[in-house]
Structure 1
Amino acid sequence: MESSTSSAAAGAKSGMVEFFYGWDLLYKTVNSDVHKKADLLIALVHFVLTKHYSFRCLGIGDDKTLPEEEAESGSELLPDDWNSDDAKFSLRYVNNKTLYLLLGHMTEDALLINLLDTNTKKVSNICIEPENLVIELKGPLTNMIPTVSEIVDRFRKELLEPVFSGNSKEQTTQTTSNTNTNTNNPARDIDPLRVTEPRGPGSFMPFEPRPFGFPEVGRGDLDPLARGGPGNLFPFDPRPNAPGVRPRFDPFGPPDRNILGRGPNPDHFRPPNWEPDYYM
């Protein structure tokens, strides 16, 4: 157990190092410009866009037109004067010849960030509080933003996925969540305390699983898809008069239509003053 725990922790640390590889180089180019906590968060958004989603920054501003000469240009660096305004940020990006605007607005204690697709007019937003998230403005990333992996995951879910339909270059790593979330891992749905078999994605179970491992007695009467078969109901056979097909109950009506001259079942008592021609 200890070895598996330590290997999971090592895997999480390795994933975090790989995901944030390149941040130090970006931060070194802008550390002299970072004067407030919101600046650091905008730089983090820029890092996620450029490294993991192949966005290229065209510069500052909120112009919604994309000239042809800019469609194939752009940089992974933040432009000059990217944080010159204390109350707002306006950055232009291009991805697959589509123009995106990253807009940030500071309120009293919150930073509202929007991402706009100028073609589809889709817009997403996220609201974060720099004072609660950023501890320091200098030093290693995990010291400046202790919950950086959770913030990056929010950027992906709340800012990118509602607007951007492309794929990231690398799978976004949730470094502080369960590391065994690989969809290719068949053991992820296995619960050792579960009595019944684990259900795979897309499986159909219209009824509750049997509790405490009881046998499947009578389950087919409720669940026609149960492994125990159709239960007490006799299966339907489309062939008329098929040999060997007999219901499990006495048929309705007499065995043949001509009942005149025939008596009742010999197992039955004869009615008083019985006459065969008048028996009904």
Structure 2
Amino acid sequence: MDAQLIDSAQWGKLPFDLFVLEKWDPSSTEDARAQGARLAIDYVKLGLRGRQPYHEAIREGRFASPTQTQIETILEPMQTIRERNLSSTIHKDKSIWLRTCYENGSDAKHAELLSSLKQPIEEITNGRGHECLFDDMTLYDYGSHWDRIFTRFPELVADPFADLDRKEKKTRDARAEALREWKEEEVDELDYEAFLHYHVTAHFFVEDRETLFGNGRMLIVWLDDQGRVVRETRIDTTEQLYEVFGLCSDGSIYECSGTWLDGEVGPAYQHDGELGLLSAEEC
């Protein structure tokens, strides 16, 4: 467990700190934790473009240090030291492993899962070991609602050094090409996958009830910059976790294409979803 904050995670140095201190309403009757969780979701929904000013302010040193009262009443209750430290490096460290099931008997099942891995967790995670394993019943007992992680870890979908103009152009071009082929009834699977791929900003692995008490397969979720599911699938923890964890950490979606293509497209990215191909014609 991290004992102290690293330099990049000091109070007031996370982009989300600037947002939450700017938006915080001290006169609100809302519980402080509830207000913090709500603002975390609001921050995620800004997307990369909306969050860019906060990242730029941090890089350029254009921010005021929070007061001790703000630290103690707003920032400290929202995240643990470990969560803050990882929030400041997630754009480099990439993969996390989130356990969301803590019902009776799950501790033994979790231990069995770890012991069944062909490689030790340190090797699977490229030396990071339990640092990337979020395993705490008091914090992450989410059940099937894994998306609650954003209330504690909004920087999960951060990409502070993204070339947004280039990313948005690639996304538009891929969408236009996939839509053209859709209209001509000649959809090329690779073009459609490129359309989806360019929306992916983050991913993580979920150890849920199905993993521990069902088929033993772990959920992997690929997310866009607002935390919406682009694709999700399940992988065999014994046979696939080592390879897929490493490739995903490197951002190599196509190199684990079998896993990626086996996945189910998220609701927003279905052809008739709000961001799907059929809605693209209206964009």
User: What's the TM-score, normalizing by structure 2?
Assistant: 0.23
* Higher Rg of the two aligned structures: 1
User: What's the TM-score, normalizing by structure 1?
Assistant: 0.23
Higher relative contact order (CA 8 A, sep 6+): 2
Question: Between Structure 1 and Structure 2, which shows a larger proportion of helix residues?
Answer: 2
